[in-house]
Amino acid sequence: MGRKPKKQRTEEQRIRQAELRSAAKKARRPDRDDIARMLLWQMISSVQKKSADKRDSREMLDKLRNQIVDGLEAQGFDVRESEDVFEGLTKRYANGIFPFRRKLHLKPGTDKGE
């Protein structure tokens, strides 16, 4: 049997992906980006809180920034822009306030159409 036409494969993939997203939402399963966002916030916040010496804290943040920016550069992102985004996040996270909005669609009992 030959390969399915591209249009059919694409449509089947679209349906599969929609089902996976729906199941993940129903299970309230975080995705890779949710985990990465939380991890970065935890890393930056812990460096800022645990280091009494500002210079020490800055050195650790610079080391973390360099590792992250190197990885982004390897993916093709601009180094300067990547550094700017990291520094912006560092400033945003500096106040210690939880920076993320609640995802109201994940609250129990908010399943639409189910």
Q: Are residues 49 and 87 in the same domain?
A: yes
- In percent, the amount of the chain with pLDDT more than 90 equals 50
State yes or no: pLDDT of 114 exceeds 70: no
Q: Are residues 12 and 22 in the same domain?
A: yes
pTM: 0.68
Is the domain of 23 the same as that of 67? no
Same domain assignment for residues 98 and 51: yes
Position 113 scores a pLDDT of 45
pLDDT band at 111 (very low <50, low <70, confident <90, very high): low
Per-residue pLDDT tens digits for 1-54: 789 999 999 999 999 999 999 998 888 888 899 999 999 999 988 888 877 677
Domain check: are 65 and 88 in the same one?
yes
Domain residues for the domain of 62 are 31-106
Domain assignment present for 112: no
Angle CA(76)–CA(79)–CA(81) in degrees, nearest 5?
100
pLDDT reported for residue 112: 55
First vs last C-alpha separation in the chain: 38
In this prediction, residues 54-79 reach a mean pLDDT of: 93
Helix, strand, coil percent values for the chain (each to nearest 5)? 70, 0, 30
Average pLDDT over residues 49-63: 84
* DSSP conformational letter for 29: -
Residue 113 DSSP one-character state: T
Give the three-state DSSP class for 75: coil
pLDDT at residue 67 above 90? yes
